[in-house]
Amino acid sequence: MMISKIAVVGAGTMGHGIAEVAALSGFEVALIDISWDFLNKAKERISESLNKLAERKQISDAKAVLDRISFNTSYDIAKDADFAIEAVPEKLELKRTVFRTLDTVMPSHAVLATNTSSIPISDIAEATNRKEKVIGMHFFNPPVIMKLVEVIPSKYTNRETIDLTIDLAKKMNKIPVSLKYEIPGFVSNRIFIRLLQEACREVESGEAKIEEVDSTARNKLKLPMGLFELADYVGLDVVVDIWNVLVVRGTPDVNCLMFKTKVNEKNLGVKTGKGFYTYPAPGKYAKV
């Protein structure tokens, strides 16, 4: 099957970046969200990012890339798409509603992928009448820079859908890691949440300060960001959602409340301008 048009549902942190990556790879893109406010913001962010790439001479024509993306609050623009990538918040019922709609609107040959970080793909697939064509395609933030894409089959996904998704990831200039099963947290978030659990435990027990843990992550583990900084970057609400799903699905918990407390205080990290660190403005990341 040839893919020429990709629908992306959800224009937030991940969705706008995935739409940008798809357009950069030459695909026609339909970006859908529930409000024009979100869509206009996404257009602004994509435009800023494309201008950066053009300044660095990585692309020659930012406008031509942007012109490949259509924006709309209606799913009508997805009706001739061959592949969909859903990137709405990590709530199962919301995702199932999106998939039911995509299943109704999109052609029967189309594959429906979810960018979920932790929800079982099978639970989402069961909302459709094409369970064998539903798959996980998990990007990392910022999608335009991060190379990794996890490809996760559900218990229903057929081989053709897996191969098509791996091939699409390669066409998007990404490095796919193809999982055998939908293990909780897939490969990356199992490691990420365990690192955060230990980081949190060390700080809450007074063994180390946040800045010391982050310095260790950067200067010993050679991660590009400290662990608390990365959690801020991902969004502390997203971290807590993934953490909770992993614990419900059997990962041992640790006695640590820092992340939940920040979320209760509505300090969600970069997106609100404050998390474990303070940023120049909501949504504006600067190295800590």
Site residues for ligand 3HC per CB under 6 A: 49, 52-53, 56, 117, 140-142, 144-146, 189, 224-225, 230, 234, 238, 287
Which pair of structure tokens corresponds to residue 186? 């897939």
Q: How far is the CB of 57 from ligand 3HC (least distance, A)?
A: 10
Q: What 8-state DSSP symbol labels residue 269?
A: B
- The nearer residue to ligand 3HC, 63 or 100, going by C-beta atoms, is 63
- The nearer residue to ligand 3HC, 81 or 152, going by C-beta atoms, is 152
Catalytic site residue from 86, 90, 150, 182:
150
Catalytic site residue from 138, 154, 182, 202:
138
- The nearer residue to ligand 3HC, 53 or 66, going by C-beta atoms, is 53
Active site includes 16?
A: no
Q: How far is the CB of 287 from ligand 3HC (least distance, A)?
A: 6
CA distance linking residue 6 with residue 3, whole number of Å: 7
Strand partners, 28: 5
Active site includes 229?
A: no
Q: Are 149 and 139 in contact (CB under 8 A)?
A: yes
Does residue 214 sit in helix, strand or coil?
Answer: helix
Q: How far is the CB of 138 from ligand 3HC (least distance, A)?
A: 6
Report the relative pairing of strands 69-72 and 148-153 from DSSP bridges: unpaired
Q: How far is the CB of 186 from ligand 3HC (least distance, A)?
A: 8
- The nearer residue to ligand 3HC, 131 or 271, going by C-beta atoms, is 271
Is 167 exposed, middle or buried (CB count within 10 Å of its CB: 0-12, 13-18, 19+)?
middle
Strand partners, 126: none
CA distance linking residue 285 with residue 269, whole number of Å: 9
Active site includes 255?
A: no
* Cβ atoms within 10 Å of 237's Cβ, excluding its own: 18
Active site includes 173?
A: no
Q: How far is the CB of 224 from ligand 3HC (least distance, A)?
A: 4
Which helix (H) or strand (E) covers residue 31, if one does? strand 28-32
Catalytic site residue from 49, 118, 154, 189:
189
Q: How far is the CB of 273 from ligand 3HC (least distance, A)?
A: 17
Q: Which residues contact 240 (CB under 8 A, 6 or more apart)?
A: 259, 260, 263
- The nearer residue to ligand 3HC, 105 or 196, going by C-beta atoms, is 196
Catalytic site residue from 117, 154, 182, 202:
117
What distances in angstroms separate CA 109 from CA 2, 156, 219, 267, one per listed residue?
A: 10, 16, 48, 43
Length of the chain: 288
Closest CB to ligand 3HC: residue number: 117
- The nearer residue to ligand 3HC, 168 or 238, going by C-beta atoms, is 238
Positions marked catalytic? 117, 138, 150, 189
